């Protein structure tokens, strides 16, 4: 199975998160690594599908994903990675994970962000769309961890949901379930108020337990999560000069 990254270069730090994400691939068996979008100059031994990144972030992501699923260079089943996803422990294959019921995730986010946001509104809208489509208890798959996709399934999703892809991962996970397990999210923020209490109480112990990690730019550059990832993967991967 190929691993696909949808990338817009971070010129400020020379895409450092991607460098360490690629190093973390030593922990999962895989075939090709495919970078879609922009490729940093230091990346090597990867398959590259160039896509100009000149729109908003959601539009760039949509263009990159479309390029991936229509390319013969990408395997039919592939593992979708973000440049800030890190696989911290050795695993034989990627498990199928979910974030719980969308209604529960919305309630949790509203407790943390009572002012609301477009992201929360998107969750609510997708929930209503899925209920209208016959899903009695739609699940959220908006985790900051890798996700296995099938090219044909992705292509058919726009038709199934009439192009209204407010949150692609959750739409995909509900239409194409795969015996997923409910887990908490692993995103680490520089602002401690957004993190799991377990992380704030003992960052080192929390980080050591995780199979997957993700961190915001600030948390990666200046926080314990970034330090932990960098210390975990000190050696170059085959994918960097």
Q: List, in sequence order, every residue forming a beta bridge with 35; answer none if it has no partner.
A: 5, 48
Q: Residues 227, 221: contact at Cβ < 8 Å? A: no
Q: Considering only residues 225 and 192, tell me which one the structure prediction assigns the higher pLDDT.
A: 225
pLDDT digit string, tens, across residues 57-114: 889 999 999 999 999 999 999 999 999 999 999 999 999 999 999 999 999 999 888 8
Position of tokens 């009439």? 162
pLDDT at 11 exceeding the cut of 90: no
Of the pLDDT bands very low, low, confident and very high (cuts 50, 70, 90), residue 163 is: low
Residue by residue, DSSP assigns the chain as: -EEEEEE---TTTTTHHHHHHHHGGGGS--S-EEEEE---TTB-SSEEEE----S-HHHHHHHHHHHHHT-TTS-SEEEEE-TTEEE-S--SSPPPEE-EEHHHHHHHHHHH-TT--HHHHHHHHHHHHHHHTT-SSPEE---SS-EEEEHHHHHHHHHHTTT--SSHHHHHHHHS----EE----EE-SSGGGS-HHHHH-HHHHHHH-SEEEE-HHHHHHSHHHHHHHHH--SPPTTB-
As a whole number, the mean pLDDT across the chain is: 95
Q: Which two tokens stand for residue 134?
A: 């016959």
Q: What is the model's pLDDT at position 160?
A: 84
pLDDT score for 158: 80
Per the model's pLDDT, the better-predicted residue between 58 and 153 turns out to be 153
- List 94's β-bridge partners, or say none: none
pLDDT band at 165 (very low <50, low <70, confident <90, very high): low
Mean pLDDT of 36-56: 97
Q: 70 and 36 in contact (C-beta within 8 Å)?
A: no
| CA–CA distances in Å: residue 127 to residues 113, 160, 203 | 19, 15, 33
Write down all domains in the chain, each with its CATH number in brackets.
2-232 (3.90.550)
Name residue, tokens 């000190």.
234
Record the pTM: 0.95
Length reported for the chain? 241
Please report the pLDDT score of residue 193 as a whole number.
85
């Amino acid at each position: 199975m190929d691993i696909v990254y949808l990338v817009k270069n971070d010129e400020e730090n020379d895409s450092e998160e991607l460098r360490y994400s690629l190093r973390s691939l030593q922990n999962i068996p895989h075939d090709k690594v495919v970078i879609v979008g922009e490729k940093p100059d230091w990346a090597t031994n990867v398959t590259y599908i160039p896509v100009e990144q000149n729109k908003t972030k959601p539009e760039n992501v949509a263009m990159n994903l479309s390029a991936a699923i229509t390319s013969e260079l990408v395997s039919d089943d592939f593992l979708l990675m973000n440049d800030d996803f890190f696989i911290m422990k050795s695993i034989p294959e990627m498990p199928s994970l979910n974030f719980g019921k969308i209604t529960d995730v919305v309630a949790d986010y509203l407790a943390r962000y009572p002012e609301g946001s477009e992201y929360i509104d998107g969750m609510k809208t997708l929930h209503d769309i899925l209920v209208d489509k016959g899903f009695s208890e739609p699940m959220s798959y908006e985790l900051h961890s890798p996700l296995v996709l099938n090219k044909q399934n992705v292509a058919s999703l726009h038709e199934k949901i009439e192009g209204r892809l407010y949150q692609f991962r959750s739409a995909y996970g509900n239409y194409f379930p795969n015996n997923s397990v409910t887990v908490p999210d692993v995103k680490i923020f520089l602002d401690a108020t957004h993190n799991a209490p377990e992380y704030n109480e003992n960052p080192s112990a929390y980080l050591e337990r995780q199979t997957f990690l993700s961190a915001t730019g600030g948390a990666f550059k200046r926080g314990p999560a970034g330090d932990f990832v960098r210390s975990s993967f000190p050696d170059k991967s085959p994918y960097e000069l």
